Amino acid sequence: MSFRRHRRDAQREAARLDEPVREAGALAKKLGLDPYPVNYWVVNYDEMNQLIAYGGFQERYPHWRWGMTYDRQRKTDQFGMGKAFEIVNNDDPANAFLQESNSLADQKAVITHVEAHSDFFKNNQWFGLFSDEGQFAAAAMLERHAQTIERYVENPEISRDDVEKFIDAVLCLEDTIDQHRTIREAAADEDGRIPGDIRAQLDSLDISDDVRREVFDEAWLEGVEEAEREAAKLTDPRKDVLAYVREHGMRYDEETGKAEEMEPWQKDVLDMLREEAYYFAAQKMTKVMNEGWAAYWESLMMGDERFAGTDEFITYADHQSRVLGSPGLNPYKLGKELWEYIENSTNRAEVADKLLRVKGVTWRNFHETVDFDEVQTLLRADPAIDGVSADSLDELSELGPDEPRVDHETLDRALSGDESLDLEAYPWKLLTYEGLAERHYSLVKAQNRGFLSRIRRSELEQLSRYMFDDEVYDSVEEAVADVDKTAGWDRMREIRESHNDVTFLDAFLSEEFVRANHYFAYEYSQSSRQFRVSSSEYRDVKKKLLFQFTNFGKPTIAVYDGNFDNRGELLLGHQYNGVILDMKQAKGVLERVYHLWGRPVNLMTITKEFDEHEVEVARRRGREPTPEERAIRVRYDGESFDEHDLDPELEARIAAGEVDYDTKPDDWL
Amino acid sequence: MGLRDDLERFREVGEERREDLKEFISYGDLGASGSKDIKIPIKVVDLPEFKYDRLDMGGVGQGKGGTPDVGQPLGQPQPGDGEGEDGEPGEEGAEHEYYEMDPEQFAEALDEELGLELEPKGKEVIEEVEGDFTDITRSGPHSTLDFERLFKEGLKRKLAMDFDEEFVREAMKVDGTSAREVFRWCREQNILVSMAWIEDEWSRIPDDERGTWASFEEMEENVERTTAIQRIRREGLREIPFRREDERYRHPEVIEKKQSNVVVVNIRDVSGSMRETKRELVERTFTPLDWYLTGKYDHAEFVYIAHDAEAWEVERDEFFGIRSGGGTRISSAYELAKEVLDERYPWREWNRYVFAAGDSENSSNDTKERVVPLMQEIDANLHAYVETQPGGTAINATHAEEVERSLGEQGNVVVAYVSEPDDVIDAIYTILSTEATAE
């Protein structure tokens, strides 16, 4: 297929998508979303593969890992198995890429999905940590980085392999940052200055020997150095390891055999990659929320609001079931279900709040007094709102000029014969946010029947504890008429602003949810050498799940000392939480951190050791052996590793507090 | 610069340069156990990072149709569990992708690769199938295009057209040869190359390299040929040659469908002498076999039997994980297999395969007195015994030999030996080719 042909196809496809793009944006805003403007690009499959390889951008710095992703993506494509539907990047304006060969139903689904992502990017505070700092222009930033690093690579003074190795070393630390702060706050974290070589400074000052003897004598020098060394001991560990090595790192010079200042290009590369790490951190921290959010709104727009034409609906349903149906713990599914749970429980609390204010209804007699079927019927949407269509203009007019659920401007235009509205396809244009909230009210949907009646007494008791006006309504009808149907969506938007995956799961993963979805925790059994189910208790599952999301699912490593042992060595510490490190990987990282520090590097951690005899005994008796925890310091000096017992004082600084992620029951096997 | 360049550099990592990353390279492998997907070979380099010990961290899973009991073994940890998964490249973007291959394609690819022609035979059960998109025509609405078939035909064509380019290029360096002669030689070697390609390439051979080899024979001795799977492993399937003539469109029709059924009995020795490495070899051999047969037949069922001195039937999930302390009596497994087959899978309706694996250690005289007669009694398309004996043969490990000696001539009995992962493909070939030739 020739290039020109491609362009023509792409243009035709782009024209076909003009309308869906415009209308999806309008619908998203009506539903209360507030996305960045999105630029849509239609690309062919190879361009798509390239974009995926580059993490959603058109230009990245030269590095083999993009080649790896590209290779994999192409192979997936060649086998006809993989299909990339969409890729959208976090930028203002955001950019979304659609593959030209997708069906129209797929494209529409992608567009609705993208609008919700874009809303999330713009409004979630964790994204704000990066985007609210100065001028936010991600694509431009990454392009600038690409060009700068390309120049270093092409510079004949600098070896390309050196640049590549340096990038590798930095990438090994890309997740050891302080992702809960802005990049500036993390860098400014004050610490004592590393003792510079004060003698060298004095030398450079050209002071006479007399003055030196008189004023800056040995005793004085030692005193200053001692004080500076003390100050260099970090009182608080520094989580942003990248920032620390940026400030104090050096490079080992093969020729002089000494640690020397980093080259300017090295500092520059470090700065750029650190900036990228902070840029991408928010996405890693909100995967479940963000994907769930997009899946929720996509489903609402495509399914409930029939943004997919009736004929496309089957294709869409198929698309969605494939995305949500992929195996394992799927973030799309988990996220979407949690959002739905939040919507339902907020709406339920709102209904209960109104019902508890009916004369004669209390939290004690709630379940006996309230006729839930009646409430369900009363909650149903007004037929004029629910059945809104191009033919229902008169019914809407009859609701009067002050009706808040009707978009009066659109209605006037429709009544005066404006056909450009295309209300056949987009009846929602006649409604406001309130109107749409009623039309899609969650508690009356078939799949949520019974949710209302399952409200627990404890929740009702809580609701009524501080309720003063508890006799406002004479009847259930009156109370239900007062229910605010936007409560669920309002609450969802608040949550999408302030939470990340950890807090989201912590707050909203309910026992009801864990049970209904058959989640369980598993652990490795040393005696049977297998993973086994360790618990299906709500608390255990939640604990394990939170563990997987905390700190990107990775161990927390921080800088504890930049002048360890008074020899300028770096001391990293693994903040132990009961789960040990993968030591092979950790040693691989240390080898590379050495490139950034230029002097020996140390890692303190805690390991678990099993006594072979005890394992054998445990195996025979069908028990689990108890490991012995040992605190160690692993040191790498540029050539080899050695291992030392850890100083008890340091051990106390990294040892586990109350956290314990082990879910093994006592009586297990 | 740009992606092509990144790709080039990636290919070189750990090979031509960057020895330091060698230990962080892994290759995707055939047959992910317990999963429905086959992984396509692919090179992965994961930069080291601070991460948790995989065993110590445990995880969260989701039960299908119910919450499993505490203490139940999981087999392999489920891939893609939350964020704990191995750093998926490109996870920074928000892309959705799928990666899977179905057993039928796997079976076809293996057929092509190994040159097998195993056709499911005999024993078909006839059933009425309601109007489905089963019949095919050469034209039709686009939505009914049978893409799977198009792909498979393309893959076949690809494999048929694929040849070892390097090898042919080397042949052009034989002293005094000509393009025509190379072409003739290629025909003799069954290398499917066109005259046009040779002529094209001929002009590109540097003059100083001509005459590198004195004769074709010398070249063949010194240059190693690569197999199609090696090339695919190295380069991926560059492109699938889709052809319009392979396009078929499905349209519905009510037909009488013949269904071929297969039952595979997998038997594994779980006694004390079967250590971890041996266990793994069994899994590596059995999984592709199961896959292959699943792909070949319309309907496949599996029976898993574990045994030490006793035998018992288990689920697949547990099958590869069980360990026991007891001694070994292989006949116990065949007794159970016979019982299960007679009861549930009558020979007139089912194609039967009985695959057993172990380290060939058996209690004395059990093989001769009990197992051999049982193997003769159990009607099956194929009986196979896979001996896994990493690190050589132990003195009392004679089961495989005895079986081979007594039944090797029978045509439907085969013995294969696997002592390291590289032997697996050979073993699979030995086993499946026995079935293909046996009538």
pLDDT one-digit tens code per residue, B93-114: 323 233 344 666 667 766 776 6
Residue A646: which pLDDT band, with cuts at 50, 70 and 90? very high
Higher pLDDT, A99 or A556: A556
Q: Which residues of A touch B40 (CB under 8 A)?
A: 75-76, 79
Q: Are residues B323 and B207 in the same domain?
A: no
Instruction: Indicate the number of domains in chain A.
Output: 4
User: Which of the 8 DSSP states describes residue A485?
Assistant: T
Residue A182 lies in a domain: no
Does B8 lie at the interface with A, CB-CB under 8 angstroms?
A: yes
Start-to-end CA distance of chain B, whole Å, equals 59
Please say if the pLDDT value at position A644 is more than 80. yes
Residue A147 lies in a domain: no
Distance from CA of B430 to the nearest CA of A (A): 28
Residue B301 lies in a domain: yes
* A554–B57 CB contact, under 8 Å: no
- Dist. CA A509–CA A499, nearest whole Å: 13
Q: Are residues A428 and A502 in the same domain?
A: yes
| Mean pLDDT computed over B23-39 | 51
Q: Are residues A623 and A541 in the same domain?
A: yes
Q: Which residues of B touch A585 (CB under 8 A)?
A: 48-51
* B237–A552 CB contact, under 8 Å: no
> To the nearest whole percent, how much of chain B has pLDDT over 70?
67
Q: Which residues of B touch A154 (CB under 8 A)?
A: 1
Q: pTM for the full model?
A: 0.66
Q: Which residues of B touch A52 (CB under 8 A)?
A: 90, 93, 95, 97
Q: Are residues A383 and A423 in the same domain?
A: yes
Q: For position B97, what pLDDT does the model report?
A: 30
Please say if the pLDDT value at position B322 is more than 80. no
Q: Rounded to the nearest 5°, which phi and psi values hold at B178?
A: -130, 165
| Mean pLDDT computed over A608-632 | 87
Q: What is the 3-state secondary structure (H, E, C) of A264-283?
A: HHHHHHHHHHHHHHHHHHHH
Residue A351: which pLDDT band, with cuts at 50, 70 and 90? very high
Q: Are residues A552 and A407 in the same domain?
A: no
Does B76 lie at the interface with A, CB-CB under 8 angstroms?
A: yes
Q: Are residues B217 and B304 in the same domain?
A: no
Please say if the pLDDT value at position A341 is more than 80. yes
Q: Are residues B43 and B180 in the same domain?
A: no
Residue B130: which pLDDT band, with cuts at 50, 70 and 90? very low
* A581–B83 CB contact, under 8 Å: no
Q: Which of B20, B69, B90 lies nearest to residue A55, judging by beta carbons? A: B90
Residue B140 lies in a domain: no
Q: Are residues A345 and A486 in the same domain?
A: yes
| Mean pLDDT computed over A587-594 | 96
Residue A55 lies in a domain: yes
Here the tokens at position A408 are 């009066």
Does A73 lie at the interface with B, CB-CB under 8 angstroms?
A: yes
The C-alpha angle with vertex A375 and arms to A373 and A379, in degrees rounded to 5, equals 120
pLDDT in tens, B3-26: 888 988 888 888 778 888 888 877
* B100–A535 CB contact, under 8 Å: no
> To the nearest whole percent, how much of chain B has pLDDT over 90?
9
Q: Which of B23, B44, B56 lies nearest to residue A580, judging by beta carbons? A: B56
Q: Are residues A440 and A358 in the same domain?
A: yes
Does B223 lie at the interface with A, CB-CB under 8 angstroms?
A: no
Pick the closest to residue A548 from A368, A359, A328 (CA basis): A328
* A68–B94 CB contact, under 8 Å: no
Final residue before a domain boundary, out of A269, A298, A325: A325
* B53–A290 CB contact, under 8 Å: no
Residue B394: which domain range?
259-437
Q: Are residues B221 and B279 in the same domain?
A: no
For A:6-65, CB contacts with B below 8 A are 50-56, 62-65
* B60–A581 CB contact, under 8 Å: no
Residue B131 lies in a domain: no
Residue A421 lies in a domain: yes
3-state SS assignment for residue A224 = helix
Distance from CA of A639 to the nearest CA of B (A): 13
Here the tokens at position B164 are 């070892």
Q: For position B360, what pLDDT does the model report?
A: 85
Q: Which of B7, B42, B50 lies nearest to residue A585, judging by beta carbons? A: B50
Please say if the pLDDT value at position A654 is more than 60. yes
Please say if the pLDDT value at position A494 is more than 90. yes
Q: Which residues of A touch B231 (CB under 8 A)?
A: none
- Dist. CA B376–CA B373, nearest whole Å: 5
User: Which of the 8 DSSP states describes residue B371?
Assistant: I
The winner for highest mean pLDDT among A139-143, A417-421, B358-362, B430-434 is: A139-143
Q: Are residues A302 and A348 in the same domain?
A: no
- What CATH number is attached to the domain comprising B291? 3.40.50.410
List of residues 6+ apart from A623 with CB closer than 8 A: A527, A668, A669
- Which residue, among A329, A338, A538, A581, would best test binding to B if mutated, counting the most B CBs under 10 Å from its CB? A329
For B:253-272, CB contacts with A below 8 A are none
Instruction: Indicate the number of domains in chain B.
Output: 3
The winner for highest mean pLDDT among A621-625, A662-666, B69-73, B411-415 is: B411-415
Does B54 lie at the interface with A, CB-CB under 8 angstroms?
A: yes
Residue A173 lies in a domain: no
| Mean pLDDT computed over A639-645 | 95
Strands A569-574 and A557-564: antiparallel
Cβ–Cβ under 8 Å, residues B60 and A548: yes
Please say if the pLDDT value at position A320 is more than 80. no
Residue A391: which domain range?
340-507
List of residues 6+ apart from B235 with CB closer than 8 A: none
Mean pLDDT score of chain A: 86
User: Looking at this predicted complex, what is its ipTM?
Assistant: 0.85
Q: Which residues of B touch A291 (CB under 8 A)?
A: 94
Does A204 lie at the interface with B, CB-CB under 8 angstroms?
A: no
Residue B241 lies in a domain: no
Q: Are residues B324 and B413 in the same domain?
A: yes
Please say if the pLDDT value at position B78 is more than 60. no
Q: Rounded to the nearest 5°, which phi and psi values hold at B261?
A: -110, 145
Distance from CA of A363 to the nearest CA of B (A): 33
For A:547-586, CB contacts with B below 8 A are 547-549, 552-555, 557, 574, 579-586
